[in-house]
């Protein structure tokens, strides 16, 4: 297992188009997180899953955003009707459950979205 | 509410110099965790260290050392004998014990000049 992987690494799309990103977490990790990072800022929490259940969504996650984690394995993040303000790095992370072991989150390399 | 402040936006040092990155945090949680991550130009956030609030022992790992002071709510990171490969953006982050999300600072961009 080589860690958290994200696909694609880069995505350029026209305003108004839909985009979907994929995240494959570390295999034994129950928790999966999505963060967004804009230029010059630290990552901001978007949502997280425990197994297949989406347990929390940030106010940053507008109705145009939807995330899924079918079967508690990989996750997808879809943005509908993209806007220029959606341009950012989208980071996925995964971790073990508290009490199972160290609970630090391990991050993927991110998907950089540019909306033109 | 939780908050992490990294007052240094950018730091430049000459190779082999020591450098300290500052991190100050705010939380109402009595138990919490502090983290440092490194983000090289490739974009991936690389986990460096986790420190529990009830463990104030400082830690050293090779050229890296961390100074956790609960009294001043600080968790500073020192790189000794810096190298060009240390050039990256470094983030300090905080998570409450009952929480699942990390609160990040804005990061400090470190440039190590050969």
Q: Is the pLDDT of residue B16 over 90?
A: yes
Identify the pLDDT of residue A98. 67
Cβ pair A45:B101 closer than 8 A: yes
Query: Hey, how many other C-beta atoms are within 10 angstroms of the C-beta on B24?
Result: 17
| Per-residue pLDDT tens digits for B75-85 | 999 999 999 99
Cβ pair A56:B37 closer than 8 A: no
Identify the pLDDT of residue A61. 87
Chain B residues whose CB is inside 8 A of the A44 CB are 104
Identify the pLDDT of residue B64. 95
Cβ pair B106:A33 closer than 8 A: no
Cβ pair A56:B47 closer than 8 A: no
How far are the Cα atoms of B53, B75, B95 from residue A78, in angstroms, in the given order?
36, 36, 26
Chain B residues whose CB is inside 8 A of the A111 CB are none
Contact with chain B for residue A30, Cβ under 8 A:
no
Distance (Å) from the C-alpha of residue B101 to the closest C-alpha of chain A?
Answer: 6
Query: Could you give the percent of chain A with pLDDT greater than 90?
Result: 77
Identify the pLDDT of residue A102. 66
Q: Is the pLDDT of residue B111 over 90?
A: yes
Token look-up 């899924």 returns A68
Locate B109 and state its tokens.
């961009």
Tell me which residue in B4, B37, B50 faces A102 most closely, judged by beta carbons: B50
- The C-alpha atoms of residue A17 and residue B96 are separated, in whole angstroms, by 37
Chain A residues whose CB is inside 8 A of the B93 CB are 42
Q: Give the DSSP letter string of B38-90.
A: EE-TT-PPEEEEEEETT----EEETTEEEEEEGGGTEEEEEESS--GGG-EEE
Identify the pLDDT of residue B60. 87
φ and ψ at residue A2, rounded to 5 degrees:
-105, 10
Tell me which chain B residue has its CA closest to the CA of residue A90: B43
| Per-residue pLDDT tens digits for A49-105 | 999 999 988 988 889 999 999 988 999 999 999 999 999 999 999 998 766 556 789
* Least confident span in A26-30, A43-47, A110-114: A26-30
Average pLDDT, chain B: 94
* Least confident span in A42-46, A85-89, B50-54, B92-96: B50-54
Query: Could you give the percent of chain B with pLDDT greater than 90?
Result: 81
Q: Are strands A65-68 and B74-79 parallel, antiparallel or unpaired?
A: unpaired
């Amino acid at each position: 297992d080589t860690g958290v992987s994200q696909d694609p690494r880069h995505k350029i799309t026209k305003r108004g188009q839909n985009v979907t990103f994929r995240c494959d977490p570390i295999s034994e990790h129950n928790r999966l997180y999505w963060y967004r990072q804009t230029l010059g800022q630290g990552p901001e929490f978007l949502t997280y899953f425990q197994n297949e259940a989406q347990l929390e969504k940030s106010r940053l996650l507008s109705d145009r955003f939807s995330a899924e984690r079918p079967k508690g394995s990989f996750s997808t993040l879809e943005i509908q009707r993209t806007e220029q303000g959606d341009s950012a790095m989208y980071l996925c992370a995964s971790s073990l459950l508290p009490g199972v072991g160290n609970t630090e989150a391990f991050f993927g390399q991110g998907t950089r979205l540019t909306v033109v | 509410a939780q908050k992490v402040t990294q007052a240094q936006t950018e730091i430049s040092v000459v190779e082999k110099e020591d450098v300290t990155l500052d991190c100050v945090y705010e939380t109402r949680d009595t138990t919490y965790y502090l983290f440092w991550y490194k983000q090289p130009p490739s974009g991936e956030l690389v986990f460096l260290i986790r420190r529990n609030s009830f463990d104030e022992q400082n830690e050293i790992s090779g050229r890296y050392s961390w100074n956790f002071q609960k009294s001043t709510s600080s968790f500073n990171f020192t790189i000794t004998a810096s190298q060009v490969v240390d050039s990256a953006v470094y983030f300090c982050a905080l998570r409450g014990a009952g929480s699942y999300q990390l609160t990040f600072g804005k990061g400090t961009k470190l440039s190590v000049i050969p």
